[in-house]
Amino acid sequence: MRTAKLRVCASCEWVFKGGVGCPKCHFGSYGAHYVYGNAAYRYAKTQKPWLENKMAKLEIELALHKHKLMQEIWGSNNAL
């Protein structure tokens, strides 16, 4: 059984060559062509899926931080 040369991490979506474990998070991987089709070769250079995943997590984190700050601001104004 052969493994695909171009792989994608099953956790963080990092596209990489060789091995079966992700070099970033050491999680398991799938064949990138199986997951992304011909776009896998472009994603190996741009890392678009990983970047989109990372940006989505950061947006959620920022929204939660904003919500927490707004609660602190409005909570302190109500005490006055």
Predicted local confidence at residue 80, as pLDDT:
46
Q: Where are the domains of the chain?
A: 6-79
pLDDT in tens, the chain (80 residues): 567 899 999 999 999 998 889 999 999 999 999 999 999 999 999 999 999 999 999 999 999 999 999 998 888 655 44
Predicted local confidence at residue 63, as pLDDT:
96
Chain CA centroid to CA 42, Å: 17
Residue 78 structure tokens: 């109500």
Q: How far apart are CA 2 and CA 28, in angstroms?
A: 16
Predicted local confidence at residue 51, as pLDDT:
95
φ, ψ for residue 25, nearest 5 deg: -120, 0
Q: How far apart are CA 39 and CA 3, in angstroms?
A: 18
pTM: 0.73
First to last CA, the chain: 70
Predicted local confidence at residue 49, as pLDDT:
94
